[in-house]
Structure 1
Amino acid sequence: MPEVRQDEYLVFPHCQSVGVKLRAGRKFEIKALASPPQRLVVNTEVAGFTDQWTKWSFDSLWLQALQADLHQSGQWVSVAKRRYLRELSADGGQIVEITSDPTIVPAMGCNVELTVVEVGTHSAPWLTVGFEAFGPHARLSQTLEQTVENFFRSQQPPPIPLTQYSSMSYPAWLARFISASDFE
């Protein structure tokens, strides 16, 4: 079953290294690019970039006091999301999908997310595919690469090639979307 939510992003025109988001009206998040994108090629149908981000998250108690001020501080874009999530464990050296059992908490692995996104009423739906590795910092890149390669090896080829030209972070995608449209 997909998770459905509405997020709001603060627009930083031409900025691809910082993202500011109100997550479903309950959390305020800031993400900053911690390392430049690195190219990852899985096969002729799947290639893209990996990057590392630092995230700061603040809960709703803090947010309630600032929400009105935040909305006056710049242009915000509403993004509707329908998220399909899978959690993969890399514990034990093999990539294994975790069931919905909440008692299983892997120390190392990767979250995989397919999301249908719609920006306001200004566009047709977009699809995003994201992988978020977790675990010991020294193993994040290795875990991510191993998971991505395993995921795409075990699936049918994607219906369209996933190329480096369409591989970008949310801040990069929003900057491109905003600059390509007459979004107000």
Structure 2
Amino acid sequence: MLTTYELRWFYPRKAPEEIQLWFEQNCLVQPLQAPETREDIYLYSPESKFLGIKLRQERLEVKWRKAELGTLNFSGSVEGKVEKWGKWLCCDSKQESFELDQVVNNPVWVSVQKVRYSQLYQVLPEFSLQPMCDDENIDNGCKVELTHLTIQESAWWSLGFEAFGDNSRLMDNLQITANKAFNTECGFKFLAVDSYAYPSWLTRVYGE
């Protein structure tokens, strides 16, 4: 099981151009790298904002919120809610259990198209950051991502930080990475009211 500290925001419509440019200049080490494009299938459970279940690339992922850790502020114009999550992964090597045709016509399963720009950072013992490739194994780190979302033919976008590592360092890993990202003014006011995880986002989309 993987434990993470996460900080996310969600906003309707396409991401503003200034946010895309800010992210490329201040978060990505190689701004011209191609984003990841994929489809995730979420189980919509409106009464369970603490639980996230999805099918992703023939793998079942289950996440549950362990704790709400309060609000962090950065650079005067950014505030967001930190949550502690546990993640459990189940892979089907025979590709027999998690087939999309079993859920594609079931209304409780929701398709979300994603175009995701991301950068992984290793947090070194002296609390400095070192950019890494996604496939490298590190003990303490944080991933920052800008994701363009399409759900029910509607466009959304999300900015997120996902820190992992030693329990005693999870908050430091998150804060150091977010401080680095927001060290340069992004030209956008991120509010705590828009800060939540994917289960709450799905409830907001379907509750409108």
TM above 0.5, one fold? yes
Aligned to 2:190: 162
Q: Is contact 1:45–1:158 with CA below 8 Å preserved after alignment?
A: no
1:9 counterpart SS class: strand
- 2:57 is the alignment partner of 1:29: no
Aligned to 2:76: 44
1:93 counterpart SS class: coil
The correspondence for 2:207, drawn from 176, 179, 182, is 179
Residue 54 of structure 1: how far off its partner (Å): 0.7
Aligned to 1:81: 114
- 2:140 is the alignment partner of 1:112: no
1:177 counterpart SS class: helix
Deviation digits for residues 22-44 of structure 1, max 9, x if unmatched? 013x1101100011242111132
- Percent identical residues: 30
Over 3 Å counting, the alpha-carbon distance change for 1:70 and 1:30 in structure 2 is farther
Residue 143 of structure 1: how far off its partner (Å): 1.4
Residue 158 of structure 1: how far off its partner (Å): 2.1
5+ unaligned residues in a row in structure 1: which ranges? none
2: CA distance, partners of 1:167 / 1:68: 30
Over 3 Å counting, the alpha-carbon distance change for 1:142 and 1:175 in structure 2 is same
1: CA distance, partners of 2:102 / 2:73: 39
Which aligned pairs between 1:88-167 and structure 2 lie closer than 5 A?
88-100=121-133, 105-121=137-153, 123=154, 125-153=155-183, 155=184, 157-167=185-195
Residue 67 of structure 1: how far off its partner (Å): 3.8
Q: Which has the higher contact order (CA 8 A, sep 6+)?
A: 2
Deviation digits for residues 101-145 of structure 1, max 9, x if unmatched? 96x643211111110011132x1x211111111211111012111
Over 3 Å counting, the alpha-carbon distance change for 1:108 and 1:73 in structure 2 is same
Deviation digits for residues 139-170 of structure 1, max 9, x if unmatched? 101211122122211x3x22321110111101
Over 3 Å counting, the alpha-carbon distance change for 1:31 and 1:140 in structure 2 is same
- 2:34 is the alignment partner of 1:6: no
Over 3 Å counting, the alpha-carbon distance change for 1:66 and 1:127 in structure 2 is closer
1:53 counterpart SS class: strand
Q: Is contact 1:109–1:143 with CA below 8 Å preserved after alignment?
A: yes
Over 3 Å counting, the alpha-carbon distance change for 1:169 and 1:68 in structure 2 is closer
Residue 13 of structure 1: how far off its partner (Å): 1.4
2: CA distance, partners of 1:31 / 1:99: 25
Q: Is contact 2:39–2:111 with CA below 8 Å preserved after alignment?
A: yes
Look up the equivalent residue of 1:162 and give its one-letter code.
F
2:93 counterpart SS class: helix
Q: Point out the structure with the larger helix share.
A: 1
Q: Point out the structure with the larger strand share.
A: 2
Over 3 Å counting, the alpha-carbon distance change for 1:42 and 1:9 in structure 2 is same
The two structures, once aligned, show a CA RMSD in angstroms of 2.3
2: CA distance, partners of 1:18 / 1:178: 16
Residue 97 of structure 1: how far off its partner (Å): 3.8
5+ unaligned residues in a row in structure 2: which ranges? 1-33
